Structure 1
Amino acid sequence: MTDRTAQAVRVNAGSNGMLYDPAFSITPALRVFEPAFYAERARPVSAGGRNAAWFVQDQWGCGVLRQYRRGGLVARFNKSHYVWNGAENTRSFAEFRLLQYMHARGLPVPRVVAAGYNRSLCFYRAALITETLPDTKPLASVLKDLSDTVHITALAEACARSIYLMHRANVWHADLNAFNLLVDASNKVWLIDFDKGRQLVMTASLCNDNLNRLKRSLEKVLQQQGLVFWEHLSRFYAKNQ
């Protein structure tokens, strides 16, 4: 069964399901969520991704394939299975919908290509493909190589602006950290990894929770340098309000 809703094509095939953006000429089959499908056109992401992310290339372009993996203690006995609660509640479909919502509003997020799941009894596995953001580096990596005060201040302002736009669109990021903000060659800051993200009425408390999570990440990765950067970012964020 195929139906078109909210600029997405949905394909159901037994215990499998897939959403994809029709702007991308992707193969409508669950095998596109396996790196083996791309053969030599799949390359593991070296940082992050819990060893389950690849840069891939196909007829529709270049993207990042991410298979959902659990973290924390539960990952010791269950790395990739989640409790089934309906297709639209799968991690992949939820993130697909959220990214489409954000991209349609001009927010600095990657375009989402496709989302899929494979159900087995009461559990499922899931995967997502997003379009590659060319010439980008994680904020943490950029800051390590940056010492010029003018550039640091400009980058803090760009980070604050992107986060503010996300919050103004009533989007909550579940894991806002120094690796989920990417900086491109023009100093534009992109937001990635919206697994477990949600559309919420972003109260001051929720906004602060997001920002404080980023602060902890910056301090952990960059120590004092991270805290100094955070002070700049916090000041610029407040000016946007």
Structure 2
Amino acid sequence: MKVVKLNEKEWLVTEKKYRSIVTRDWFDPNYWQQQDAIDGQSLGRGTTYLFSHLNKGYVLRHYRRGGLVGKVIEKSYLFNGIQVTRAYRELKLLKALRKKKLPVPKPVAAFVRVENLRYQAAIVIRLIKNAQDLFHYLRQKPLSEDQWQQVGAMIKQFHEQGLDHADLNIHNIMLNAKGKFWLIDFDKSELIRPNHPRLGKNLQRLLRSLRKEKEKHPDFQWQESDWAALLLGYHEQQ
């Protein structure tokens, strides 16, 4: 990854393939709106924008805090160097996971702006084509038992490489039109020892997510027996 200090306050980090085309404007939603390039957006802690450029799809996400701290300091973090910013670390992790042939989005670039020893940041990744997160998918139709086993096997693949996902929930698992499952959103995630006992907390978090959405949404097509199928796929993955 190439790190360029644009000025006294701003840094741009890019993957090799995108060094000649990505500019700071890529991280400004207004820039893409002016070009009528916004294809969609989703709301979470902040707004995630989907945009197109040269017939390719991208995702722009600005970092936002969650929890009680986020109500006071929404989108700034203490700056201790570009390589320990959340954007840089997520971009670097995505690159490492891609090298391990794991189903994650392609990293593109990150942008960091520092003001008074605090920074704000954003990341751009490639869009997973013709994909939908499982939360929205399950509000339309259920997954089969075999598909839940595939989800479990996919998670096990990540754990075998030591990936500790900081927020494994039903919104961060994608399914594309070809029937392939993907994992997204690696903010605050890290690589630790493969199959570390701590990775079991990822599964606990996912189960809480499923139960929460089932309780909130009557049309959410998930049941406890689906979790047994997921665990079967997880433990059978070699």
Q: Same fold (TM over 0.5)?
A: yes
Q: Distance in 2 between matches of 1:58 and 1:210?
A: 35
- Structure 1: where are the runs of 5+ without partners? 1-7
Secondary structure of 2:236's aligned partner: helix
User: Is 1:232 paired with 2:224?
Assistant: no
Q: Matched residues in 2 for 1:141 and 1:36: separation?
A: 27
Deviations 1:96-131 (A, max 9, x none): 000000011110000011011001121000000010
* Mapping for residues 168-187 of structure 1, pairs under 5 Å: 168-187=160-179
When residues 156 and 234 of structure 1 are mapped into structure 2, their CA distance, relative to the original with a 3 A threshold, is same
Q: Which has the higher contact order (CA 8 A, sep 6+)?
A: 2
TM-score normalised over the length of structure 1: 0.89
Give unpaired runs (5+ residues) of structure 2: 216-220
Which residues in structure 2 correspond to 1:10-25 (within 5 Å)? Answer: 10-13=3-6, 14-24=8-18
Report % sequence identity: 29
Q: How far off its partner does 1:51 sit?
A: 3.3
Q: Distance in 2 between matches of 1:83 and 1:133?
A: 31
Aligned residue in 2 for 1:193: 185
| CA 205–92 in structure 1, closer or farther in 2 if over 3 Å, else same | same
Name the SS of the counterpart of 1:50 in structure 2: coil
Which residue in the other structure is 2:2 paired with? Answer: 9
TM-superposed CA distance for 1:176, in Å, is 0.2
Judge which range, 154-163 or 178-187, deviates more: 154-163
Matches for 1:62-141 after TM superposition, within 5 Å? 62-141=57-136
| TM-score between both structures, scaled by the size of structure 2 | 0.90
Q: Deviations over 1:24-50 (max 9, x none)?
A: 36634322111112122124423x443
1:52-87 Cα deviation digits (max 9, x unpaired): 210112237210000001111122221110111110
**Aligned-pair Cα RMSD in Å:** 1.9
* SS of aligned partner of 1:179: helix
Counterpart Cα distance in 1 of 2:44 and 2:38: 14
Query: Is 2:33 aligned against 1:41?
Result: no
Q: Equivalents in 2 of 1:161, 1:19: separation in Å?
A: 33
C-alpha distance in 2 between matches for 1:176 and 1:184 = 18
Taking a change above 3 Å as real, the CA distance of residues 26 and 218 of structure 1, as seen in their structure-2 partners, is farther
Name which of 111, 135, 150 aligns with 1:158.
150
